[in-house]
Amino acid sequence: MSIVYLGTSEFAAQVLGGLAAADHAPGLVVTPPDRPRGRGQRLASPPAAEAARELGIELLQAGGVNDRAAVERIRAAEPRLGVVCAFGQLIREPLLSELPLLNVHPSLLPWWRGAAPIERAIAAGDAETGVTIMRVTEGLDSGPIALRESLAVGDDDFGALAPRLARLGAELAVRALDRSAAGTLEWTEQDDNVATYAEKIRPEERRLDPGQPARELALWVRALTPHLGAYLELRDGERLGVRGAAAEPGTGPPGELEVIGDALRLACSPGRLRIELVQPAGGRPMGVGAYLRGHPPPRLS
Protein backbone atom coordinates (compact mmCIF):
# COMPACT_ATOMS: atom_id res chain seq x y z
CA MET A 1 0.00 0.00 0.00
CA SER A 2 1.40 3.39 -1.01
CA ILE A 3 1.43 5.73 1.99
CA VAL A 4 2.63 9.21 2.91
CA TYR A 5 4.04 9.85 6.38
CA LEU A 6 3.69 13.18 8.18
CA GLY A 7 5.87 13.54 11.29
CA THR A 8 8.40 15.77 12.98
CA SER A 9 9.75 14.73 16.38
CA GLU A 10 12.15 12.04 17.61
CA PHE A 11 9.08 10.01 18.52
CA ALA A 12 7.86 10.30 14.91
CA ALA A 13 11.31 9.34 13.64
CA GLN A 14 11.29 6.15 15.72
CA VAL A 15 7.82 5.20 14.50
CA LEU A 16 8.94 5.83 10.91
CA GLY A 17 11.87 3.48 11.43
CA GLY A 18 9.52 0.83 12.77
CA LEU A 19 7.29 1.11 9.70
CA ALA A 20 10.26 0.80 7.35
CA ALA A 21 11.56 -2.25 9.23
CA ALA A 22 8.17 -3.91 8.78
CA ASP A 23 8.13 -3.33 5.00
CA HIS A 24 5.72 -0.41 5.32
CA ALA A 25 8.13 2.35 4.33
CA PRO A 26 6.19 5.33 2.98
CA GLY A 27 6.73 6.68 -0.50
CA LEU A 28 6.98 10.23 0.85
CA VAL A 29 7.79 11.75 4.25
CA VAL A 30 6.51 15.26 5.03
CA THR A 31 8.16 17.30 7.80
CA PRO A 32 8.60 21.01 8.63
CA PRO A 33 11.65 22.92 7.34
CA ASP A 34 15.01 23.04 9.13
CA ARG A 35 15.18 25.58 11.95
CA PRO A 36 17.82 27.02 14.30
CA ARG A 37 18.55 24.92 17.39
CA GLY A 38 20.78 24.94 20.41
CA ARG A 39 23.10 27.59 21.80
CA GLY A 40 24.74 28.18 18.43
CA GLN A 41 21.37 28.46 16.68
CA ARG A 42 22.58 26.33 13.80
CA LEU A 43 20.05 25.09 11.30
CA ALA A 44 19.02 21.52 12.04
CA SER A 45 16.53 19.17 10.43
CA PRO A 46 13.60 17.66 12.31
CA PRO A 47 14.41 14.12 13.51
CA ALA A 48 11.85 12.64 11.12
CA ALA A 49 13.61 14.35 8.19
CA GLU A 50 16.95 12.87 9.26
CA ALA A 51 15.35 9.44 9.54
CA ALA A 52 13.84 9.74 6.06
CA ARG A 53 17.24 10.59 4.58
CA GLU A 54 18.89 7.65 6.34
CA LEU A 55 16.17 5.33 5.04
CA GLY A 56 16.40 6.71 1.50
CA ILE A 57 12.79 7.91 1.47
CA GLU A 58 11.67 10.90 -0.59
CA LEU A 59 11.34 13.95 1.65
CA LEU A 60 9.19 17.08 1.53
CA GLN A 61 9.92 19.80 4.08
CA ALA A 62 6.91 22.10 4.07
CA GLY A 63 6.24 25.13 6.24
CA GLY A 64 2.53 24.63 5.63
CA VAL A 65 1.21 21.21 4.69
CA ASN A 66 -2.06 22.78 3.54
CA ASP A 67 -0.33 25.10 1.04
CA ARG A 68 -1.08 24.39 -2.59
CA ALA A 69 2.47 23.34 -3.45
CA ALA A 70 2.59 20.85 -0.57
CA VAL A 71 -0.82 19.41 -1.42
CA GLU A 72 0.20 18.96 -5.05
CA ARG A 73 3.43 17.20 -4.04
CA ILE A 74 1.48 14.81 -1.80
CA ARG A 75 -1.02 14.14 -4.59
CA ALA A 76 1.83 13.39 -7.00
CA ALA A 77 3.00 10.59 -4.69
CA GLU A 78 -0.40 8.93 -5.25
CA PRO A 79 -0.79 7.61 -1.71
CA ARG A 80 -3.76 5.51 -0.72
CA LEU A 81 -3.34 6.35 2.95
CA GLY A 82 -1.53 8.79 5.19
CA VAL A 83 0.06 8.16 8.60
CA VAL A 84 0.42 11.15 10.94
CA CYS A 85 2.64 11.07 14.02
CA ALA A 86 3.72 13.99 16.21
CA PHE A 87 3.54 16.27 13.17
CA GLY A 88 2.75 19.60 14.82
CA GLN A 89 0.71 21.09 11.97
CA LEU A 90 -3.08 21.08 11.67
CA ILE A 91 -4.22 19.28 8.54
CA ARG A 92 -7.15 20.88 6.76
CA GLU A 93 -9.09 20.55 3.53
CA PRO A 94 -8.58 19.39 0.87
CA LEU A 95 -6.25 16.76 2.36
CA LEU A 96 -8.77 15.72 5.01
CA SER A 97 -11.28 14.71 2.36
CA GLU A 98 -8.86 13.43 -0.27
CA LEU A 99 -6.67 11.17 1.87
CA PRO A 100 -7.61 8.85 4.74
CA LEU A 101 -5.23 9.77 7.57
CA LEU A 102 -4.30 7.55 10.52
CA ASN A 103 -2.83 9.29 13.57
CA VAL A 104 -0.38 7.50 15.90
CA HIS A 105 -1.07 9.24 19.21
CA PRO A 106 0.89 8.35 22.40
CA SER A 107 -1.99 8.27 24.87
CA LEU A 108 -5.09 6.27 25.65
CA LEU A 109 -7.55 8.53 23.86
CA PRO A 110 -9.77 10.27 24.75
CA TRP A 111 -7.33 10.83 27.64
CA TRP A 112 -4.60 13.37 26.93
CA ARG A 113 -5.56 14.84 23.59
CA GLY A 114 -3.09 17.45 22.41
CA ALA A 115 0.58 18.36 22.16
CA ALA A 116 2.24 16.85 25.25
CA PRO A 117 0.49 13.58 26.13
CA ILE A 118 3.58 11.74 27.41
CA GLU A 119 4.70 14.56 29.70
CA ARG A 120 1.18 15.15 31.03
CA ALA A 121 0.60 11.47 31.77
CA ILE A 122 3.82 11.23 33.79
CA ALA A 123 3.23 14.55 35.59
CA ALA A 124 -0.29 13.45 36.54
CA GLY A 125 1.06 10.24 38.09
CA ASP A 126 -0.88 8.01 35.70
CA ALA A 127 -0.20 4.31 36.31
CA GLU A 128 -0.58 3.50 32.63
CA THR A 129 -0.59 5.18 29.26
CA GLY A 130 -0.43 3.78 25.75
CA VAL A 131 -0.90 4.41 22.05
CA THR A 132 -4.05 4.99 20.05
CA ILE A 133 -4.51 4.74 16.29
CA MET A 134 -7.25 7.17 15.31
CA ARG A 135 -8.54 8.83 12.16
CA VAL A 136 -7.59 12.45 11.68
CA THR A 137 -10.56 14.81 11.63
CA GLU A 138 -11.01 18.56 12.06
CA GLY A 139 -11.16 18.21 15.87
CA LEU A 140 -8.13 17.98 18.15
CA ASP A 141 -7.33 14.24 18.39
CA SER A 142 -11.08 13.59 18.54
CA GLY A 143 -11.53 11.28 15.56
CA PRO A 144 -12.75 7.68 15.77
CA ILE A 145 -10.42 5.02 17.16
CA ALA A 146 -9.22 1.91 15.35
CA LEU A 147 -6.69 0.45 17.79
CA ARG A 148 -5.58 1.22 21.33
CA GLU A 149 -3.12 -0.58 23.60
CA SER A 150 -1.82 0.31 27.06
CA LEU A 151 1.47 -0.11 28.89
CA ALA A 152 2.58 0.61 32.45
CA VAL A 153 4.37 3.89 33.15
CA GLY A 154 6.29 2.55 36.16
CA ASP A 155 9.11 4.84 37.29
CA ASP A 156 10.06 5.87 33.76
CA ASP A 157 10.99 9.41 32.90
CA PHE A 158 10.19 10.83 29.47
CA GLY A 159 13.47 9.60 28.03
CA ALA A 160 12.65 5.99 28.94
CA LEU A 161 8.91 6.01 28.31
CA ALA A 162 8.85 7.71 24.89
CA PRO A 163 10.89 5.00 23.08
CA ARG A 164 8.66 2.29 24.57
CA LEU A 165 5.61 4.12 23.28
CA ALA A 166 7.24 4.63 19.89
CA ARG A 167 7.86 0.89 19.52
CA LEU A 168 4.26 0.21 20.46
CA GLY A 169 3.10 2.94 18.08
CA ALA A 170 4.97 1.38 15.18
CA GLU A 171 3.49 -2.05 15.96
CA LEU A 172 -0.03 -0.67 16.07
CA ALA A 173 0.47 1.38 12.91
CA VAL A 174 1.65 -1.72 11.03
CA ARG A 175 -1.36 -3.63 12.32
CA ALA A 176 -3.68 -0.82 11.23
CA LEU A 177 -2.13 -0.66 7.75
CA ASP A 178 -2.46 -4.42 7.32
CA ARG A 179 -6.11 -4.33 8.39
CA SER A 180 -6.81 -1.36 6.16
CA ALA A 181 -5.36 -3.21 3.17
CA ALA A 182 -7.51 -6.24 4.02
CA GLY A 183 -10.62 -4.10 4.50
CA THR A 184 -11.02 -5.19 8.14
CA LEU A 185 -10.11 -1.98 9.98
CA GLU A 186 -13.01 -0.98 12.23
CA TRP A 187 -13.69 2.31 14.02
CA THR A 188 -15.20 3.33 17.36
CA GLU A 189 -16.20 6.89 18.21
CA GLN A 190 -14.55 8.58 21.20
CA ASP A 191 -16.48 9.66 24.28
CA ASP A 192 -15.89 13.42 24.41
CA ASN A 193 -17.35 13.57 27.92
CA VAL A 194 -14.27 11.90 29.45
CA ALA A 195 -11.63 13.65 27.34
CA THR A 196 -8.63 15.33 28.97
CA TYR A 197 -6.18 17.70 27.30
CA ALA A 198 -2.38 17.66 27.17
CA GLU A 199 -1.46 21.27 26.54
CA LYS A 200 2.03 22.18 25.38
CA ILE A 201 4.42 22.51 28.33
CA ARG A 202 4.57 26.16 29.38
CA PRO A 203 7.98 27.67 30.28
CA GLU A 204 6.90 28.40 33.85
CA GLU A 205 5.99 24.74 34.41
CA ARG A 206 9.67 23.81 34.20
CA ARG A 207 10.50 25.78 37.37
CA LEU A 208 10.30 23.65 40.51
CA ASP A 209 8.27 25.49 43.14
CA PRO A 210 8.94 24.29 46.71
CA GLY A 211 5.51 25.58 47.68
CA GLN A 212 4.13 22.51 45.93
CA PRO A 213 4.14 18.93 47.27
CA ALA A 214 7.39 17.04 46.83
CA ARG A 215 5.57 14.21 45.05
CA GLU A 216 4.33 16.58 42.35
CA LEU A 217 7.80 18.03 41.84
CA ALA A 218 9.31 14.56 41.51
CA LEU A 219 6.75 13.72 38.84
CA TRP A 220 7.57 16.91 36.94
CA VAL A 221 11.27 16.06 36.99
CA ARG A 222 10.49 12.69 35.41
CA ALA A 223 8.08 14.21 32.89
CA LEU A 224 10.60 16.77 31.63
CA THR A 225 13.80 14.66 31.65
CA PRO A 226 15.86 14.82 29.52
CA HIS A 227 14.37 16.83 26.66
CA LEU A 228 12.97 19.96 28.36
CA GLY A 229 14.34 19.80 31.88
CA ALA A 230 13.01 20.98 35.22
CA TYR A 231 15.13 23.44 37.18
CA LEU A 232 15.59 25.34 40.44
CA GLU A 233 16.02 29.10 40.28
CA LEU A 234 19.05 30.04 42.37
CA ARG A 235 19.77 33.19 44.33
CA ASP A 236 22.49 34.32 41.90
CA GLY A 237 20.04 34.21 39.00
CA GLU A 238 21.38 30.95 37.60
CA ARG A 239 19.24 27.93 36.91
CA LEU A 240 20.21 24.53 38.28
CA GLY A 241 18.72 21.77 36.19
CA VAL A 242 17.27 18.83 38.09
CA ARG A 243 17.48 15.52 36.20
CA GLY A 244 16.93 12.97 38.96
CA ALA A 245 14.84 13.34 42.12
CA ALA A 246 12.43 11.50 44.39
CA ALA A 247 9.89 12.51 47.00
CA GLU A 248 10.37 11.51 50.63
CA PRO A 249 8.84 12.40 54.00
CA GLY A 250 10.24 15.37 55.85
CA THR A 251 9.57 18.83 57.15
CA GLY A 252 11.17 22.23 56.95
CA PRO A 253 10.55 25.72 55.64
CA PRO A 254 9.60 25.37 51.93
CA GLY A 255 12.61 26.29 49.82
CA GLU A 256 15.24 25.23 52.37
CA LEU A 257 18.03 23.23 50.72
CA GLU A 258 20.12 20.85 52.82
CA VAL A 259 23.20 18.93 51.72
CA ILE A 260 23.04 15.41 53.14
CA GLY A 261 25.63 13.01 51.79
CA ASP A 262 25.58 13.03 48.00
CA ALA A 263 22.09 14.47 47.76
CA LEU A 264 20.29 17.74 48.18
CA ARG A 265 17.09 17.78 50.20
CA LEU A 266 14.60 20.48 49.20
CA ALA A 267 11.89 21.18 51.77
CA CYS A 268 8.51 21.37 50.03
CA SER A 269 4.91 21.76 51.09
CA PRO A 270 4.59 18.98 52.13
CA GLY A 271 7.51 16.55 52.08
CA ARG A 272 11.06 16.83 50.80
CA LEU A 273 12.52 16.39 47.34
CA ARG A 274 15.71 14.32 47.34
CA ILE A 275 17.76 15.62 44.40
CA GLU A 276 20.47 13.25 43.18
CA LEU A 277 21.23 14.35 39.61
CA VAL A 278 21.67 17.97 38.55
CA GLN A 279 22.81 19.91 35.48
CA PRO A 280 24.51 23.28 36.00
CA ALA A 281 24.01 25.99 33.38
CA GLY A 282 26.14 25.20 30.33
CA GLY A 283 27.21 21.85 31.78
CA ARG A 284 26.29 18.20 31.64
CA PRO A 285 24.17 16.17 34.06
CA MET A 286 26.15 15.04 37.10
CA GLY A 287 25.64 13.59 40.53
CA VAL A 288 25.12 16.05 43.37
CA GLY A 289 28.42 14.97 44.98
CA ALA A 290 30.37 15.85 41.83
CA TYR A 291 28.49 19.12 41.52
CA LEU A 292 29.30 20.17 45.10
CA ARG A 293 33.01 19.48 44.63
CA GLY A 294 33.11 22.31 42.10
CA HIS A 295 30.31 24.60 43.31
CA PRO A 296 29.19 26.09 46.61
CA PRO A 297 25.96 24.69 48.09
CA PRO A 298 23.10 26.20 46.04
CA ARG A 299 20.62 28.64 47.54
CA LEU A 300 17.24 29.40 46.09
CA SER A 301 16.20 32.89 45.07
CATH of the domain at 141: 3.40.50.170
Spatial separation of the C-alpha atoms in residues 104 and 86, rounded to whole Å: 8
Sheet with 28-31, side-by-side order of all strands? 58-61, 28-31, 3-7, 81-85, 101-105, 128-135, 145-152
pLDDT digits (tens, 9 = 90+) for 128-173: 999 999 999 999 999 999 999 999 999 999 999 999 999 999 999 9
CA 275 to chain CA mean position, Å: 24
The average pLDDT across 75-99 equals 96
Residue 7 maps to a domain: yes
100 with 59, same domain: the answer is yes
As for how many domains the chain has, the answer is 2
Whole-number pLDDT of residue 236: 85
pLDDT digits (tens, 9 = 90+) for 164-210: 999 999 999 999 999 999 999 999 999 999 999 999 999 999 999 99
pTM: 0.95
**Is pLDDT above 90 for 261?**
no
152 with 248, same domain: the answer is no
User: In this structure, what CATH number is given to the domain that contains residue 251?
Assistant: 3.10.25.10
**Cβ distance 298 to 233 under 8 Å?**
no
Comparing CA positions, the residue from 232, 169, 217, 214 lying closest to residue 13 is 169
120 with 209, same domain: the answer is no
Domain extent for 265: 203-294
**Cβ distance 33 to 3 under 8 Å?**
no
**Is pLDDT above 90 for 262?**
no
36 with 150, same domain: the answer is yes
Q: Which of 143, 173, 198 is the last residue of a domain?
A: 198
